[in-house]
Amino acid sequence: MSCCSPPRGYTSLFSKRAARRDAKRYCRSGLDDTGEEMVEFLRERGVEGATVLEVGGGIGALQLELLKSGAARATNLELSPEYEDVAAELAREAGVSERVERRLGDLVDDPGLAGEADAVLMHRVVCCYPDYEGLVGAASERSRRFLVMSFPRSRALIRLGMGAVNLAARLLRWEYRTWVHPPEAIVAAAERRGLTLVQESRSRIWQVAAFERAA
Ligand SMILES: C[S@@+](CC[C@H](N)C(=O)[O-])C[C@H]1O[C@@H](n2cnc3c(N)ncnc32)[C@H](O)[C@@H]1O
């Protein structure tokens, strides 16, 4: 997207205020259902000692849960710098600060920002990025074992809702847009990098796709 800063609108949407709101919700009610399902997929397969990479992790709630479940270390790679203070506070409260590394940047523009990890997660991220092939491809290439993603289902009502968000963004002169990329193409992008789809589910809005790399 850009070499040095997130596109206009990103920090208005993914802002300090959004970070505080997300943290409040997480502290009150834990993960949302989709996030919980993604974490549970990994817990069931065993996370003890695993390394985790969360791309676009926001406050980092998924990685905190995995660290509390025994994962060794987590790296969070974020485009928006606005989450950092809140994320650091949450990690401190969870007693895992020493095991979390937070980096800023765009995984597609600068894939070297993130090393490989046993498990790579992208929760509600693919819909915030125009180049799904580049993003899913880069995330897949960083996964030694698992890749777990959530993204919007391609339904008329969801596309309509996303269209309304994009209209508002255009009126506000933000560069930010939201995307309903074809789910089968997202899955195919991971499969082309040697990952096998092992679990898939759909809620009203979100689709979860979990992949494993053959040993
Ligand atoms: C809708 S938010 C989701 C945040 C968090 N995963 C959650 O579900 O609460 C999408 C996040 O993805 C980040 N993002 C989008 N594209 C990215 C990229 N190419 N590299 C790193 N972060 C990215 C955005 O900055 C934003 O914080």
Q: What is the pLDDT of residues 173-213, one digit of tens each?
A: 888 889 999 999 999 999 999 999 999 999 999 999 999 99
Question: What radius of gyration, in Å, describes the C-alpha atoms of the chain?
Answer: 16
Q: For residue 103, how far is its CA from the centre of ligand 1 (angstroms)? A: 12
Q: For residue 64, how far is its CA from the centre of ligand 1 (angstroms)? A: 16
Please name the residue whose Cα sits nearest to atom 11 of ligand 1: 56
pLDDT level of residue 111 (50, 70, 90 thresholds):
confident
Give the pLDDT score at 5: 65
Q: Which atom of ligand 1 is nearest to the CA of 1?
A: 19
Pocket residues: Cβ below 6 A from ligand 1: 10, 14, 22, 55-58, 77-80, 106-108, 123-125, 128-129, 135
Give the pLDDT score at 1: 54
Q: What is the pLDDT of residues 149-169, one digit of tens each?
A: 999 999 999 999 999 999 998
Is residue 51 predicted with pLDDT exceeding 80? yes
138 and 108 Cβ atoms separated by less than 8 Å: yes
Is residue 214 predicted with pLDDT exceeding 90? no
| Arithmetic mean of pLDDT over the chain | 94
Q: For residue 10, how far is its CA from the centre of ligand 1 (angstroms)? A: 9
Q: What is the mean pLDDT of residues 133-155?
A: 97
Give the pLDDT score at 23: 98
Q: What are phi and psi of 64, to 5 degrees?
A: -60, -45
DSSP strand E in 62-155: where? Answer: 73-78, 100-104, 117-123, 143-152
Residue with tokens 């092939």: 133
Q: What is the pLDDT of residues 2-35, one digit of tens each?
A: 445 666 677 888 999 999 999 999 999 999 999 9
Q: What are phi and psi of 206, to 5 degrees?
A: -105, 150
Q: For residue 83, how far is its CA from the centre of ligand 1 (angstroms)? A: 10
Please name the residue whose Cα sits nearest to atom 10 of ligand 1: 125
Give the pLDDT score at 176: 84
Is residue 97 predicted with pLDDT exceeding 80? yes
Distance CA 192, CA 22 (A): 34
Q: For residue 152, how far is its CA from the centre of ligand 1 (angstroms)? A: 14
12 and 84 Cβ atoms separated by less than 8 Å: no
Give the pLDDT score at 2: 46
137 and 120 Cβ atoms separated by less than 8 Å: no
| H or E segment and range at residue 195 | strand 195-202
pLDDT level of residue 38 (50, 70, 90 thresholds):
very high
Give the pLDDT score at 4: 53
Burial class (CB in 10 A: 0-12, 13-18, 19+), 201: middle
